[in-house]
């Protein structure tokens, strides 16, 4: 299903990558609910392998050992408590469901798993589910290595091992049942939907059979008969036989072209300019609006995994990043997901980050640190908390305020200065050129004085930021220096003074 089931006219999801359940619960109550976030994508809640070499990489959570609910983020009761408390403040939870595969072949045998369940990779035995040898696809895969070797062959992409991970035989009723039982347990606990990992590697028919087994959402928090939101991770940059379109009727799909193109525009690479984004969205060959989940960066491509390469904007380039996220949140296309990251010792040699594996901030025993909140509302201990950056939080609120309004009153200088509105509810102006912007524009907004939500914000009846005066005809004068800390300005109905 394509509807994120978001409440209270909210619009955006934040991915709290690798956060502990206890911290997410607190964040829902103290920050996300009060600031209009609609939901949280959480890291995979199921039991996963625990690796020593490299030491506790973040990606160990993409190697399931079973469907018990203890993970690096916490145990089952902490998970349940978090889902309950977030739902109680109107913030939805979406679980990352890793259902294409289990751990990799060379994982050995023992209890090196997040709940301590025994498993054996050489025997393909995962007794906590249980899955045994016959629940995997190896007989169907025809490559010499039993791995995916060639993405232009759809059969091997679906039936062989993604980077050596044991590939589940999802055409078996038994495997479908076990996967659906796991997802249903989460639904009954109160999740609003799923980000389904590695969908390119599963047949749409198999996914349809799994989704068809899912319960409706928990009626403590959702209307009777609400169906789980589904976001399918399919990386389609337009160059492979498997396309997002095969998955569109099953649920939303990640639009990876979006972040790759937006990053190139704000970096001014490949001759890209902001003016070309006048027809942003379907006009750029993206999937239909109602099917897309969009984001500037994700947990893979912010560190060189996945797709998009160096064009992807991330918190490491914060000035460009804030503009790109601001643009995404102002624009009507897609359901928007904001990334919230941890810092790692990035060390790029020959365009490859040697430390792209490093896990979240952790104690010496490998357990994940909690997220301390500083007096200025930022986060400490290596947690970046992009979602708490004033410019980003305020644009999440902007998107809620303009929800349902059309893209309107476009203006550009034929270069990297553009502006657009959202009906009579909001207006945003960008200056990504190397000179000043100084122009009077038709905003479409009712006359009055507005407080810019980028350089500061409305506080009580005052304004800590630039003020914008809109006259009775909707016209306003904007002046943005190319050397401003953030060279963009945004106003909306609720920022009127």
Residues near ligand ARE, by CB under 6 A = 59, 62-63, 98, 104, 151, 162-165, 197-198, 200, 233, 235, 240, 300, 305-307
Least Å distance, CB 233 to ligand ARE, is 5
Q: Which is nearer to ligand ARE, 63 or 394 (CB)?
A: 63
Tell me which of Ca ion, ligand ARE, none is bound by residue 71, counting a contact when its beta carbon lies within the kind-specific cut-off of 5 to 8 angstroms.
none
- If the CB atoms of residues 98 and 179 are measured against ligand ARE, the closer one turns out to be 98
First to last CA, the chain: 40
Distance CA 157, CA 140 (A): 11
Stretch binding Ca ion (CB under 5 A), from 4-12, 16-24, 162-170, 442-450? 162-170
DSSP symbol at 81: H
233 is catalytic: yes
At residue 147, the 3 state secondary structure works out as: strand
Do the Cβ atoms of 33 and 91 come closer than 8 Å?
Answer: yes
Give the β-pairing of 462-463 and 488-492. unpaired
Q: Are 59 and 18 a contacting pair, CB within 8 Å?
A: no
Instruction: Specify the 3-state DSSP secondary structure of 216.
Output: coil
Point out the catalytic residue in the list 167, 197, 356, 452: 197
Contact partner at residue 200 from ligand ARE, Ca ion, none, CB < 5 to 8 Å by partner kind: ligand ARE
Q: Return the one option of ligand ARE, Ca ion, none that residue 307 interacts with (CB less than 5 to 8 A, by type).
A: ligand ARE
- 197 vs 272, which CB is nearer to ligand ARE? 197
Question: Of residues 77-116, which lie at the interface with Ca ion (CB under 5 A)?
Answer: 100
Beta bridge pairs of residue 408: 421
Q: Which of 317, 307, 325, 328 is nearest to 260 (CA)?
A: 307
If the CB atoms of residues 154 and 275 are measured against Ca ion, the closer one turns out to be: 154
Question: Closest distance between ligand ARE and the C-beta of residue 388, in Å?
Answer: 24
Q: Of ligand ARE, Ca ion, none, which one does residue 167 interact with (CB within 5 to 8 Å by kind)?
A: Ca ion
- CB burial class (10 A; 0-12, 13-18, 19+) of residue 92? buried
When binding is defined by CB under 5 A, the residue of 27, 47, 78, 167 that contacts Ca ion is 167
Instruction: Please choose which of ligand ARE, Ca ion, none residue 386 contacts, taking the beta carbon within 5 to 8 angstroms, the exact cut-off set by kind.
Output: none
339 and 328 Cβ atoms separated by less than 8 Å: no
Per the DSSP assignment, residues forming a β-bridge with 107 are none
Q: Which is nearer to ligand ARE, 32 or 165 (CB)?
A: 165
Given a contact cutoff of 8 angstroms between Cβ atoms, the answer to whether 292 and 255 are in contact is yes
Contact criterion met (CB below 8 Å) for 463 and 496: no
Q: Tokens 């996220």 — which residue?
A: 325
How many positions of this chain bind Ca ion (CB under 5 A)?
3
Instruction: Note if 246 is an active site residue.
Output: no
Residue 201 binds to Ca ion (criterion: CB under 5 A):
yes
Partner interacting with residue 151 (select from ligand ARE, Ca ion, none; CB below 5-8 Å by kind): ligand ARE
Q: Exactly one of 47, 159, 206, 233 is catalytic; name it.
A: 233
The DSSP 8-state label assigned to residue 360 in this structure reads S
Instruction: Name the residues that contact Ca ion, by CB under 5 A.
Output: 100, 167, 201
Active site residues: 197, 233
């Amino acid at each position: 299903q394509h509807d994120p089931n978001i409440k209270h006219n909210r619009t955006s999801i934040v991915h709290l990558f690798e956060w502990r359940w206890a911290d997410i619960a607190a964040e829902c109550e103290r920050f996300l609910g009060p600031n209009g976030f609609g939901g949280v994508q959480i890291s995979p809640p199921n039991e996963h392998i625990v690796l020593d070499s490299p030491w506790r990489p973040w990606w160990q959570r993409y190697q399931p050992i079973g469907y018990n609910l203890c993970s690096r983020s916490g145990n089952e009761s902490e998970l349940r408590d978090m889902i309950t408390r977030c739902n109680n403040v109107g913030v939805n939870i979406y679980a990352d469901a890793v259902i294409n595969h289990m751990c990799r072949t060379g994982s050995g045998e023992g209890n090196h798993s997040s709940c301590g369940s025994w498993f054996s990779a050489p025997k393909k035995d995962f007794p906590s589910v249980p899955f045994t040898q016959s629940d995997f696809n190896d007989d169907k895969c025809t490559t010499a290595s039993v791995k995916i070797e060639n993405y232009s062959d759809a059969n091997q992409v679906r039936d062989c091992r993604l980077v050596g991970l044991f590939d589940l035989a999802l055409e078996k009723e038994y495997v479908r049942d076990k996967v659906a039982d796991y997802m249903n347990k989460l639904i009954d606990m109160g999740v609003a939907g799923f980000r389904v990992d590695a969908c390119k590697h599963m047949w749409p028919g198999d996914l349809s059979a799994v989704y068809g087994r899912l319960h409706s959402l928990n009626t403590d928090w959702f209307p009777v008969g609400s169906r789980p939101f589904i976001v399918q991770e399919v990386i389609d940059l337009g160059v492979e036989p498997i396309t997002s379109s095969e998955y569109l009727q099953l649920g939303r799909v990640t639009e990876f072209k979006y972040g790759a193109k937006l990053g190139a525009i704000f970096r001014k690479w490949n001759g890209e300019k902001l003016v070309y984004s006048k027809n942003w969205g379907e006009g750029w060959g993206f999937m239909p609006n109602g099917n897309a989940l969009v984001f500037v960066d994700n947990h893979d491509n912010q560190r060189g995994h996945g797709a998009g390469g160096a064009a992807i904007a991330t918190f490491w380039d914060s000035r460009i990043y804030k503009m790109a996220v601001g643009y995404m949140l102002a624009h009507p296309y897609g359901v928007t997901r904001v990334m919230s990251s941890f810092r790692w010792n990035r060390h790029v040699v020959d365009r490859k980050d040697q430390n792209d594996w490093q896990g979240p901030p952790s104690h010496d025993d490998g357990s994940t640190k909690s997220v301390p909140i500083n007096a200025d509302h930022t986060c400490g201990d290596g947690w970046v908390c992009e979602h708490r950056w004033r410019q980003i939080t305020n644009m999440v609120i902007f998107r809620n305020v303009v929800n349902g309004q059309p893209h309107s009153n476009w203006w550009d200088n034929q270069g990297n200065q553009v502006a657009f509105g959202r009906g009579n509810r909001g207006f945003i102006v960008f200056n990504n050129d190397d000179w000043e912007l100084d122009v009077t524009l038709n905003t479409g907004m009712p006359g009055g004085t507005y407080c810019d939500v980028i350089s500061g914000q409305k506080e009580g009846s005052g304004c800590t930021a630039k003020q914008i005066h809109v006259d009775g005809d909707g016209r306003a004068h904007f002046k943005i220096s190319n050397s401003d800390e953030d060279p963009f300005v945004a106003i909306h109905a609720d920022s009127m003074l």
